[in-house]
Amino acid sequence: MQLRSTSKLPRSKSGNLQNPGKREAQPFKQETVLERFASSLPSRKKTIVQDVKEYVEWADSRGDEDFNPDSSDDAAIRTYLLDRHFKGEPDLALNRIRSSLGNFYSWLKVNGLIAENPFEKYNLNSRFISQKQALDKHDAFAGPSDERELAQLRALNRLAESTNRSPDVQSMLNDSLETILEVMDLHTAWISLKTDAGFIKTPSGDPPAHGFVLAAAHNLPSSLEQSDRFYLKRPPACNCQKLLNSGRLKRGINIFECSRLQEAAATGSSTDELKFHASVPINTNGQTIGVMNVAAREWQFLSASDLQFMTAGARQIGGALERARLYDQVQTQHTHLTNELDMVRKVQVSLLPDKLPRIRGYGLAAYWKPAYETSGDYYNVYKLPGGRWGFIVADVSDKGASAALYMAMAHGLIRERVEFEPSPAALLSQVNRALFDLDIKTNFVTSFYGILDPANSSMKYALAGHPRPLLRKASGQVETLSGKGIALGIIPEVEYEEMNISMEPGETLVTFTDGTTDANNPLRETFELTQLKKAVGLAPTSPNALLKHLKTTLRDWVKQEPNYDDITILVIGRKLPAKSNLNGSK
């Protein structure tokens, strides 16, 4: 027991302190306090001192710390008297013990050791009821012992289903509280958790001064529901929360006179005649992190069986809390990651053309489909000096966000060179060296880069480890073009082979990434180059119609199979000359 020192304060003949003033509180031994209390009593009152000593020893045995008398000791006093009552103490002896404790707390208040006397603040003179009367008042699990045990197991199983069905902390607490009340045929309850346990975040972000947050509530009276549940949330800590902090709330207690209901009733709002509540601690990982309160109009309103079930239910809630917190953490991380990926995707999409340009005598079509939220594939069309046009299709050797970021770097290196480097092979050599110098050894890039000169219908291109493009003739015949070269970023010095073709009217160039030919059907068979060439040969002539045909063919091939690789297709077609009309005009 820790009390303020009284050894140096002036005393009256009765042993009471005179004018304690504002001296700083100091730790003091129980024996000294009890000696001072005993000296304030006539010698014939030895039984009072003995009663108080037994109460203090009992209170010490229940807590993690030495017992420290407080204004909110109503629960401790009631529990002690109830304990003595159920051990067979006669009413006459109980009244004597109650009177002795009343004298002790009155002396503590007079001497400035406590702010208020709980015997004055609360009604501690209520008559005790027998165990039989308690069972008659409320018992959710009535009947013979075997039926009672079976009913409790069924109720706990139902509670377990409720906690397992609710993945996050908030819904789990709400559902569990509602389930407990329903199976016990009770109506009003709430749960408070310590803020430092980290299960519930306060809306403002700043933890309440008393260190508790209202985590869940069900069917509150209007007095507690008013002003956003102000009287349940506000500091300071209430009696049960103080008992929890002191380490003395180790099991279910049936006799709390609720200070929060008292405060709320003072506003004139209805409390539905609720005055008391039973309290059970909520523990997780060996730590007491909260309290569950079930309200009623009378004290001792729950049977021992009810309290046993509530304690077991609180134990289940404690175990489910940790699982639900892990779920919440995963969800938070997932949301954070999703937001980051969404930002990466937006940045990546911004690097692609908003729309394809119009090139006189030519048609363009493009398709870009990421396997995941982001892609390692890339394509673009650049307007170059002299009326020429540059076309890039590239593929990073990875998927997802890391590939998208690497591709963004490659985009910058390509973009800053295309206007000044007229040779596709030379440009790829420069980009290769720049990527190698970045010293990112986990990625490389395959690429097709071609430059079209519409003035003479020529296309020169170079390949860096990329699939060779297809050229569809006006006749429908499909050829695989020549060209080779190592992927970008692997070795520092590479000379790429530059190829030249002439695009005749009605011819179409199809360049693509390997995700196109690697697309799987439900039998895990890949699409392969031969089938792609066949689909190109059977497609309509115009780039848009040809691309639409390829997309349909791929969709029919993969069916419901997911994409395991990004797919990009760029189609460049030279239009056929317009047909002459009967007058010879075009």
Backbone angles phi and psi of 322, in degrees to 5: -65, -40
C-alpha torsion sign, points 358, 359, 360, 366 = negative
Residue 20: predicted pLDDT: 42
Residue 19: predicted pLDDT: 42
Helices (runs of H) and strands (runs of E) counted in the chain: 17, 15
Arithmetic mean of pLDDT, 427-452? 91
Arithmetic mean of pLDDT, 50-72? 82
CA distance 66 to 399: 62
Specify the higher pLDDT residue, 50 or 253. 50
Q: Is the per-residue pLDDT at 7 higher than 60?
A: no
Residue 203: predicted pLDDT: 67
Task: Tell me which residue has tokens 């208020």.
Answer: 116
Q: Is the per-residue pLDDT at 492 higher than 90?
A: yes
> What does the longest C-alpha to C-alpha distance in the chain come to?
138
In three state form, how does the secondary structure of 104-168 look? Answer: HHHHHHHCCCCCCCHHHHCCCCCCCCCHHHHHHHCCCCCCCHHHHHHHHHHHHHHHHHHHHHCCC
Question: Cβ(537)–Cβ(478) under 8 Å?
Answer: yes
Q: Is the per-residue pLDDT at 386 higher than 90?
A: yes
Task: Tell me which residue has tokens 């291109």.
Answer: 461
To the nearest 10°, the Cα dihedral for 315, 320, 321, 325?
160
Q: Is the per-residue pLDDT at 549 higher than 90?
A: yes
Specify the higher pLDDT residue, 328 or 22. 328
Arithmetic mean of pLDDT, 142-171? 75
Q: What is the pTM of this model?
A: 0.53
Task: Tell me which residue has tokens 């002790």.
Answer: 104
pLDDT-based confidence at 413, cuts 50/70/90?
very high
Q: Is the per-residue pLDDT at 580 higher than 80?
A: no
| DSSP strand pairing (470-472 vs 478-480) | antiparallel
Mean pLDDT of the chain: 83
Question: Cβ(282)–Cβ(292) under 8 Å?
Answer: yes
CA distance 389 to 386: 9
Residue 547: predicted pLDDT: 96
CA distance 261 to 264: 5
Q: Is the per-residue pLDDT at 572 higher than 90?
A: yes
Tokens, residue 293: 């309160």
Residue 582: predicted pLDDT: 39
Residue 420: predicted pLDDT: 93
pLDDT in tens, 200-234: 877 666 778 888 999 999 999 999 999 999 999 98
Arithmetic mean of pLDDT, 8-15? 42
Residue 454: predicted pLDDT: 96
% of the chain surpassing 70 pLDDT: 87
Residue 351: predicted pLDDT: 84
pLDDT in tens, 248-275: 788 888 767 788 888 888 888 888 988 8
Residue 455: predicted pLDDT: 94
Q: Is the per-residue pLDDT at 164 higher than 90?
A: no
Query: What is the CATH architecture assignment of 135-330?
Result: 2-Layer Sandwich (3.30)
Q: Is the per-residue pLDDT at 521 higher than 60?
A: yes
pLDDT-based confidence at 581, cuts 50/70/90?
very low
Specify the higher pLDDT residue, 299 or 549. 549
| DSSP strand pairing (362-369 vs 212-218) | unpaired
% of the chain surpassing 90 pLDDT: 37
pLDDT-based confidence at 358, cuts 50/70/90?
very high
CA distance 380 to 411: 9
Tokens, residue 227: 């002003």
CATH topology of domain 352-574: Phosphatase 2c; domain 1 (3.60.40)
Least Cα distance to 469 among 421, 536, 382, 406 occurs for 536
Give the DSSP letter of residue 496.
-
b/e map of 133-161 (b: 16 or more CB within 10 Å)?
Answer: ebeeebbbbeeeeeebeebbeebbeebbe
Amino acid at 282: I
Backbone angles phi and psi of 278, in degrees to 5: -85, 145
Question: Sheet containing 253-257: which strands, arranged edge to edge?
Answer: 212-218, 189-194, 287-296, 276-284, 253-257
Domain ranges of the chain: 30-121, 135-330, 352-574
Residue 322: predicted pLDDT: 81
CA distance 78 to 98: 9
Q: Is the per-residue pLDDT at 510 higher than 80?
A: yes
CA distance 527 to 530: 8
pLDDT-based confidence at 30, cuts 50/70/90?
low
pLDDT-based confidence at 142, cuts 50/70/90?
low
Arithmetic mean of pLDDT, 544-548? 96
CA distance 139 to 135: 6
Least Cα distance to 72 among 272, 312, 220, 279 occurs for 279
User: Among 80-94, 167-181, 276-290, 350-364, whose mean pLDDT is lowest?
Assistant: 80-94
User: Among 24-33, 90-99, 102-111, 431-440, whose mean pLDDT is lowest?
Assistant: 24-33
Detail the DSSP E strand segments found in 196-259: 212-218, 253-257
Residue 139: predicted pLDDT: 63
Q: Is the per-residue pLDDT at 423 higher than 80?
A: yes
